[in-house]
Amino acid sequence: MANHRSALKRMRQSQTRRIENRYYAKTMRNAVRKLRGINDKSEATEMLPGVTSMLDKLARKSVIHKNKAANLKSSLAKHVESL
């Protein structure tokens, strides 16, 4: 258990961030899954920029790694083009 006030605060902050990061990562995974499940090209083309910006934002906030975001964006763009 933490002995200093700053360590207790750090524990509270890290727990809050962990819960927020889990929420954003789950939301991102659901959006990617939904986009991959779409078979209509026009609908997928409309949805792609939103998912791409979500991936960029999460990479910028270090919720996911920047290379993972780049790989996901690339594969999703390829999926949309193949429809």
73, part of any domain: yes
Q: Which domain holds residue 44?
A: 40-83
Cα-based angle 71, 73, 77 (whole degrees, multiple of 5): 120
8, part of any domain: no
pLDDT > 80? residue 66: yes
Give the separation between CA 65 and CA 77, rounded to whole angstroms: 18
pLDDT at 38: 92
82, part of any domain: yes
C-alpha separations of 20 from 17, 30, 55 in Å: 5, 15, 15
pLDDT > 80? residue 1: no
Q: Are 52 and 73 in contact (CB under 8 A)?
A: yes
60, part of any domain: yes
Count the domains in the chain: 1
64, part of any domain: yes
pLDDT tens per residue across span 26-60: 999 999 999 999 999 999 999 999 999 999 999 99
pLDDT at 3: 82
55, part of any domain: yes
pLDDT tens per residue across span 3-27: 899 999 999 999 999 999 999 999 9
79, part of any domain: yes
- What would the mean pLDDT of 60-83 be, rounded to a whole number? 95
30, part of any domain: no
